Amino acid sequence: MNLQNDLILRAARGEKTERTPVWLMRQAGRVLPEYREVRAKMGGFKELVKSPEFACEVTVQPVDILGVDAAIIFSDILVIPEAMGLDYEMVESRGPLFPKTIRTAADVEALRVANGVDDLSYVCDAIRLTKAALGNRVPLIGFAGAPWTILAYMVEGSGSKTFSKAKRFLYTEPQTAHALLEKITQSTIHYLKAQVAAGADLVQIFDSWAGILSPAQYREFALPYIARISEALHTLVPVTVFAKDAHFIRRDLGQLSSCHTIGLDWTMDATESRQLIGPDKTLQGNADPCLLYSDFATIKAEAHKMLRQFGSQRHIANLGHGLYPDLEKDKVRCFVDAVKEFQW
């Protein structure tokens, strides 16, 4: 069935749009009191992720409350290592924690390649429920973490400022690192294809820790695996790649024929990025989330400034990273409204 609002899909494909579409990373989250009410019922983040009915509810909330042009399924990038056999905990106020980490070739050998349909059926069920709940109003975005970012967590064991353990692994155990990246990549392709089969209209690959690698390391341990995933998905749905802080890889991403959209963080200039990436990709981003702490007039003015910098076509408005939990809902809505009301 045809979507009532397919602006994001058309923008991703490079087709003409009447206005710039907008959605927000982490739009289904603690910035919404309605989300916090649902979360309180569940007792924990992972419980919410694994409950298709409640995951559906919080996925739809931003569409109803904020007026965004797409929903993104409520889940977590770390469901992949868990499906591969490496469990994680989500510690309040600290983030993810892996009680066991990957250290040796034997550890990698013990992991399985995840089957998206069976091992991650709860995500697929949530997508099917969400598609029904959306009633073809807006597209639904599926997502996964990029293989390097997933490896970083599996080796480091938690978040880190430096990910020195994970980077040491690349230097000291490169063959083992590639073996792990291969299993993550195969698992991610299975997973994203299962999301698309369940109803996801486009997918995004999040490389959250892209910027801590050198250009040479990124081209060896990250980009080839992202290219593999993108190549496997691009004939099914549009693919977005968001490599946070990786200024050095923008030109390379622009050369990936299988990638439709490149996500930019707020430190990446729109004009420079367009020159590096080229005219044949859609750009996504890139307002600083901290802008939304300012007053309504400033939010509106800066949103309009951003739109003028990117131009009227091949742009999907978003933040340069996810919403922060202590932002006010009304100011988030102000940003969305400012994008939607802008007239060229």
pLDDT truncated to tens, each residue of the chain (344 aa)? Answer: 699 999 999 999 999 999 999 999 999 999 999 999 999 988 889 999 999 999 999 999 999 999 999 999 999 999 999 999 999 999 887 889 999 999 999 999 999 999 999 999 999 999 999 999 999 999 999 999 999 999 999 999 999 999 999 999 999 999 999 999 999 999 999 999 999 999 999 999 999 999 999 999 999 999 999 999 999 999 999 999 999 999 999 999 999 999 999 999 999 999 999 999 999 999 999 999 999 999 999 999 999 999 999 999 999 999 999 999 999 999 999 999 999 999 98
35, 153, 191, 225: the active-site residue: 153
Q: How many domains does the chain have?
A: 1
Is 10 designated active site? Answer: no
Q: Report the b/e string of 229-243 with b at 16+ CB within 10 A.
A: bbebbbeebbbbbbb
Contact between residue 72 and residue 140 where contact means Cβ atoms under 8 Å apart: yes
Within 212-328, residue ranges assigned H as helices are 215-221, 223-233, 250-254, 270-277, 296-310
Whether residue 231 lies inside any domain: the answer is yes
Whether residue 1 lies inside any domain: the answer is no
Whether residue 142 lies inside any domain: the answer is yes
19, 30, 103, 128: the active-site residue: 30
Contact between residue 5 and residue 137 where contact means Cβ atoms under 8 Å apart: yes
6, 10, 35, 39: the active-site residue: 39
Is 103 designated active site? Answer: no
Whether residue 333 lies inside any domain: the answer is yes
SS3 341: helix
pTM for this one? 0.97
6, 10, 35, 76: the active-site residue: 76
Whether residue 82 lies inside any domain: the answer is yes
Among 143, 151, 156, smallest CA distance to 84 is for 151
Residue 37, domain extent: 7-341
258 exposure class (CB count in 10 Å sphere: 0-12, 13-18, 19+)? middle
Among 36, 39, 61, smallest CA distance to 133 is for 61
Whether residue 167 lies inside any domain: the answer is yes
Is 39 designated active site? Answer: yes
d(C-alpha 283, C-alpha 297), whole Å: 25
| 152: amino acid identity, one letter | A
Whether residue 202 lies inside any domain: the answer is yes
Whether residue 146 lies inside any domain: the answer is yes
Cα angle for residues 62, 67, 69 (degrees, 5° grid): 90
26, 228, 274, 314: the active-site residue: 26
Is 26 designated active site? Answer: yes
Is 324 designated active site? Answer: no
Extended beta strands in the chain, E state: 71-72, 89-91, 95-97, 140-145, 202-207, 239-243, 261-263, 282-287, 315-319
**CATH number of the domain within which 189 lies:** 3.20.20.210
CB-based contacts of 132, cutoff 8 Å, min separation 6: none
DSSP conformation class of 88: -
